[in-house]
């Protein structure tokens, strides 16, 4: 049953399709309107990353660095050190992929509030192929000590996340996609960096904070996801419910800092966990969840994501299926982990 407090769209079968990069583009303009310290730098991908909306409105606060991602990070670090709130945007394969050393040394070690926007992330970039499909970026960013990592599930949440990280005074990584994806949250859907949201519960009487100890039977599972694949997780949960398996679905949009309390309580409530992400299963959300559970409440877990391989060319839908991240693959993972309880 969908959690009424999540305030999702009324009909999940008919979502509007908008890329999450559009949410970033709108959000950074909104942040710029709120505070003149907000500046945007881009590495020759202004329209692709939707930074051109900011450039059109605030040309005096926009810097086109060109194809020089290392310089992109260095310039932003200096600006942040002198009081600006810089957003740097490029494809995620290039930033943080190409300039990871500059991000580490000049942004993270100095703990300056640069906002790194990795666009065109995941295999849903499609025909561009393996070289442009960032599948390691969450892992790169979440191991840097001060870095906040946010992976919004749709364009509405991406706008909220952009505005939120603008004013958190911390180095932050925002992961966005190119492909149009379902918009299933609303302006009223709760969003707070560092707090996961329960989008679907397994018991209509259970509180949004996941009260531990509610009897749910053997056929239950917690699905913890981030990014656009969370929509597939919700569809899979609805179909599994008809087969007698109840799934609690958590939007863990903040991969770091992870909402450990919500995840631990979900594991206690269901006894099984499936993580869902458009990223390598090594080092991403699945690894973060496993680390938390291994320390606090060891639980059977299965992983939906890219299974230790590089991407391929193709359209987004066929790649999601080919790499085992579609609705049917999520259902199989849930059934497998439930059988391990």
In which region does residue 224 sit, left (phi positive, over 0), alpha (psi from -120 to 50) or beta (all else)? beta
Residue 56 among the catalytic residues? no
The string over 256-293, giving b where at least 16 C-beta atoms fall within 10 Å of a residue's C-beta and e elsewhere, is: bebbbebbbbbbbbbbbbbbbbbbbbebbbbbbbbebb
Distance between CA atoms of 161 and 148, rounded to whole angstroms? 11
Catalytic residue from among 16, 30, 47, 69:
69
User: Residue 51 to residues 21, 77, 238: CA-CA distances in angstroms?
Assistant: 9, 18, 37
Q: Which residues are within 8 A (CB) of 262 and not within 5 positions of it... i.e. 6 or more apart?
A: 195, 196, 198, 209, 210, 250, 252
The string over 51-61, giving b where at least 16 C-beta atoms fall within 10 Å of a residue's C-beta and e elsewhere, is: bbbbbeebeeb
Contact between 139 and 287 (Cβ < 8 Å): yes
| Number of other CB atoms surrounding residue 63 within 10 Å | 16
Active site residues: 69
């Amino acid at each position: 049953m969908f959690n009424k407090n999540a305030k999702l769209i009324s009909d999940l079968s008919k979502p509007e399709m908008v890329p999450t990069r559009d949410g970033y583009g709108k959000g950074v303009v909104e942040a710029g309107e709120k505070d003149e310290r907000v500046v945007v730098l881009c590495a020759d991908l202004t329209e692709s990353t939707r930074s051109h909306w900011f450039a059109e409105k605030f040309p005096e606060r926009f810097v086109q660095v060109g194809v020089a991602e290392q310089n992109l990070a260095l310039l932003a670090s200096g600006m942040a050190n002198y009081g600006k709130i810089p957003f740097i945007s490029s494809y995620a394969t290039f930033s943080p992929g190409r300039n990871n050393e500059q991000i580490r040394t000049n942004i993270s070690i100095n703990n300056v509030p640069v906002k790194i926007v990795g666009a065109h992330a995941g295999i849903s970039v499609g025909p561009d192929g393996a070289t442009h499909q960032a599948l390691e970026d969450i892992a790169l960013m979440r191991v840097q000590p001060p870095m906040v990592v946010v992976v919004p599930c749709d364009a509405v949440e991406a706008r909220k996340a952009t505005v939120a990280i603008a004013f958190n005074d911390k180095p932050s990584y925002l992961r966005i996609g190119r492909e149009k994806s379902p918009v299933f949250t609303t302006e009223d859907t709760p969003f707070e960096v560092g707090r996961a949201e329960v989008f679907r519960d397994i018991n209509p009487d259970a509180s949004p904070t996941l009260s531990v100890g509610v009897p749910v039977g053997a056929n239950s599972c917690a699905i913890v996801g981030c990014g656009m694949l969370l929509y597939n997780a919700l569809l899979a949960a609805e179909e599994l419910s008809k087969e007698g398996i109840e799934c609690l679905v958590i939007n863990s949009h903040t991969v770091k800092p992870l909402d450990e309390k919500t995840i631990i309580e979900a594991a206690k409530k269901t006894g099984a966990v499936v993580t869902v992400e458009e990223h390598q299963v090594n080092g991403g959300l699945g690894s973060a969840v496993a680390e938390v559970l291994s320390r606090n409440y060891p639980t059977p877990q299965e992983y939906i994501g890219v299974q230790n391989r590089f991407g391929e060319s193709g359209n987004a839908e066929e790649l999601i299926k080919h790499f085992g991240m579609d609705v049917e693959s999520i259902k199989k993972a849930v059934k497998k982990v439930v059988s391990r309880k």
